[in-house]
Chain A
Amino acid sequence: MNVMAAHAMHKEILFTGFGGQGIVLAGMIVGRAASLGDHRESTLTQSYGPEARGGACSAQVIIADRPIHYPYVRHPDILVCLSQGGYEKYIPMLKKDGMLLLDHDLVRPQGEWKGTTFTIPATRFAEELGRRMMANIVMVGFFTAVSQTVSVQAARDTVQALVPKGTEKMNLAAFDKGHEYGLAVLKGRRKKESGEKDVA
């Protein structure tokens, strides 16, 4: 395997929540941004049955530098949860060195998984910005900042292209809110890590 291949990206991402929270749209934004904006390979598969309308809903996105043969997530690198049910159902699949993203007002993590976790009050932020249903877009902004699997430009452009006409401005504000919060969280962690090293 050459150096390029060794560093070739292959990320499996699982978005989960209730039907109606915009889980599929969140997956669509990330998948499409990676494909059309960042020119990587990406696939999106999604809940389609009655679960997409109220029950436990999921969207599976794979982003890679090489063709994606099997389009389903087997070992998620990133799990994004907007509901307790989604968290409980999919946390056993998450890789040990994976990344967990939560709306911490909606999901209470419990159990054995102790990997990298990032939390955001996405739904509360969306409410403050005027529409609770933009929690998914806040989360996409947060995801873009902390996961670094899609570029900000691509994600932002895709939000603008996919949200309902007339709501672009408020959705971009929601995206930016999540993104800025994510950058602040990352900065805080880096500071803490370097502080700990200094002490050591």
Chain B
Amino acid sequence: MKPAVLTGEHFMTGDVACAEGALAAGCRFFAGYPITPATEIAEHMSHRLPDVGGTYIQMEDEIAAMAAVLGASCAGVKSMTATSGPGFSLMMENIGLGVCTETPCVVVNVQRAGPSTGLPTLGAQGDMMQARWGSHGHYEIIALAPASPQDIFYQTITAFNLSEKYRVPVLIMSDEVVGHLSERVVIPEPTAIRTFSRRRPKGRKDRFKPFCPGPDGVAPMADAGDGYRVHVTGLTHDERGYPVMTADCHAEMIARITGKIRRNLADIIRTESYRLDDADVAIVSYGVSSRSSMAAVDEARQEGIKVGLLRLITVWPFAEEAVAHLSRTVRALFTVEINLGQVHLEVERCAKGRVPCHLVGHAGGTVIAPERIVQAIKDHL
């Protein structure tokens, strides 16, 4: 067996750093189907997993890949897959199954420009609303947005920890640029990496109720085959896991799977500020666009415009309080993202008309140049 944690300094792409972050988090199962620009994650996992006692499976398509990930997780193994737009669309139904059955797993979407096959080799951030609402029904999901190889290494660990803690699929919304960009990645000693595993049940195996939540709103999860009585279905179910076809039971189940997220927003939502303290104007951005935004902040300040950045590390659930607070302290908000306005809608919602909200975006295929952001700010002030 080789070490799962490659402690040391590396110069690696975001895709490879994502795979290494997964291994450091304890991921030991990957099922996937290759797709540009996410293929390198699968490729790297196929090299590394057998060496650390894990399993790699290339499935016949993304529907099967997502199903296999859920199955492996039910058997107690930390599991993940990685894909891009077209595959993400195919995975949507089974991501919903993961939400409904409260099965921890991590899904990486290295975004490229869509819809459909779109621009396979060129980046975008056009799947952000799909991440939020792409599967049917009303639910809560966690989605993170990494901005660099070092960032995605740690965010992948965070994704596994959150998914295990809250028993929910966690989405990592990367993009082609972060996926293929090479930078220094420092991987710490294994003892310096905090990992979290799902709470397992105690007590009588025949009395076990698999969807009976503890005080934190999350039910302990038994590994299939351990002898605990488990029943898993995508149908609306009661705390025994058995189907109950009533509006009351449905309301209870949805309250549980949304409540465990909504009641823990402070633990789940992470943001980062860049030169916001004295800012007159604030940018809200995430992923690779937050890097363009940081450059724009510096360049605007050289021209005497006090701009700052609120970087969303967690995009879903949305940082409602942070954006609302910002809308009370600055003169204008600018959302910078590679689409024609998705997270921007959330920024507008939270600003509640207190300040003008502007979008700096385009349809995808390239990053947003810092000078375009600076120009947009100048045009609107």
Q: Which of B54-90 contact A (CB under 8 A)?
A: none
Residues of A within 8 A of B121 (CB): 48-49
Contacting B181 at CB < 8 Å: which of A41, A71, A74? A71
Listed stretches B125-133, B163-171, B289-297, B320-328; interface member: B289-297
Q: Within 8 Å of chain B (Cβ to Cβ): is A44?
A: yes
Residues of A within 8 A of B120 (CB): 49
Interface size class of B (residues with CB under 8 A): 20 to 34
Contacting B295 at CB < 8 Å: which of A36, A42, A46, A70? A70
Q: Which of A130-149 contact B (CB under 8 A)?
A: none
Q: By DSSP majority rule, is chain B's interface helix, strand, loop, or mixed?
A: mixed
Residues of A within 8 A of B294 (CB): 69-70
With A70-B292, A71-B181, A71-B291 given, is the CB distance from A36 to B9 under 8 Å?
A: yes
Output the nearest chain B residue to A52 by Cβ-Cβ distance: B121
- Min C-beta distance of A157 to chain B, whole Å: 12
Do B292 and A42 touch across chains, with their CB atoms under 8 A apart? Answer: no
With A35-B11, A69-B294 given, is the CB distance from A44 to B184 under 8 Å?
A: no
CA distance A71 to B180 in the complex (A): 11
Q: Within 8 Å of chain A (Cβ to Cβ): is B370?
A: yes
Do A72 and B182 touch across chains, with their CB atoms under 8 A apart? Answer: no
- Min C-beta distance of A166 to chain B, whole Å: 20
Total chain A interface residues with beta-carbon distance under 8 A: 18
Do B183 and A42 touch across chains, with their CB atoms under 8 A apart? Answer: yes
Do B184 and A35 touch across chains, with their CB atoms under 8 A apart? Answer: yes
Q: Which of A111-152 contact B (CB under 8 A)?
A: none
Q: Within 8 Å of chain B (Cβ to Cβ): is A43?
A: yes
Q: Within 8 Å of chain A (Cβ to Cβ): is B307?
A: no
CA distance A28 to B181 in the complex (A): 11
A-B contact list, 17 entries, CB within 8 Å = A31-B11, A32-B11, A35-B11, A35-B183, A35-B184, A42-B184, A43-B182, A44-B181, A45-B177, A45-B182, A48-B121, A69-B294, A70-B292, A70-B294, A70-B295, A70-B369, A71-B177
8 A-B pairs closest in CB distance: A32-B11, A49-B121, A69-B294, A70-B295, A44-B182, A69-B295, A35-B184, A69-B291
